[in-house]
Chains A and B, each alone.
Chain A
């Protein structure tokens, strides 16, 4: 059962593909954005999960625990930045959807294309 032992990779892959599917297959722009957020969140989980060291402590360094095993804090710091980036992207995407709704009166991709073709 080694394949299932690395289950966090499976979670990553399934989430990633679910999000990707929504981005590609949905015509509703909000649903596309939800898919995009899921897509990014999967990658965040990949980073966070590999930072865990089995039996590792929280990496708080004091005088008397110099020998203990710590989890890797760097992926968390990286992902903190990536989450900020992800939120900005989602916010900007939603702002664009609001503008699209104001101008076109719809947020369905096929209807927007129909309006532009006319």
Chain B
């Protein structure tokens, strides 16, 4: 009996406290949320109907209007990276924050507790609660964020992604670090060049579900089929190191053991390339390495001579990627662009950018071609990022 009473009391207390605790502040903050929604509602309805349909019509008109629109005073911009504790993500935040704050806006940076879509969903929901004006996200899964991001767009928040995209229904536009095709081309040419035109090569990727890596690897494969200059190259295996140093090391060693004639390893992932570089250099292997890596992590391994395992590699500047993501977010919030293909805007001192077709019914903005790091310039870059 006593127990029953206590249970009932508990239930009452729980509901009461939930209502009381929240009631006090709800009035004020819903009010602000309402005004925010009202202010952006016109743009929002247009935006949520999404890119393709309205595409061409809006295009040219928006271009002129956008140039002067880089003021973000009083607005809040959120950046969500893939995971915590990764310098590459940290540099993206650094660039994003600098631009937003220079434009007078408030920047919220979010690093989810784990590199999973689950964790990002919670983060997005939290940002919706805070009533931010824009979310820029580097997605851990292309499709899994759709529900959360659509909630955000319905709440009037401008959603753009960078680094790693979400599907066209979950975004307004995508800030792409470099065209998938261009990266595939650069990596294939590097493999061709380093191998001397023929021989075996292998790819050491991140996880099997990494969106970016899979797109680049697919681009490399289709290039090999379509262009006869790669005819003498043989891709023996795509190994996955799961972006863990230990597993990447194991996988690299397995590649070396399994394929004694291997000439080149291509690792389009920052953790994989540094683990592989270390293995090759320690073993004084004749196998050479290329791929995508952070200069600060790879400085030790880049060089033209036999003592270094990586003659050259590529990457874009994550700080600039953050910058461009910020300019894009500001342009979206200010109505300079809506995310339709063909629109143009000026990204501060970075110059003019055009929204192009991303090939998935959505639009994208490409930062530029990947940058080559080699023995000559690595010393200049290793302290930058």
Partners in one complex: no
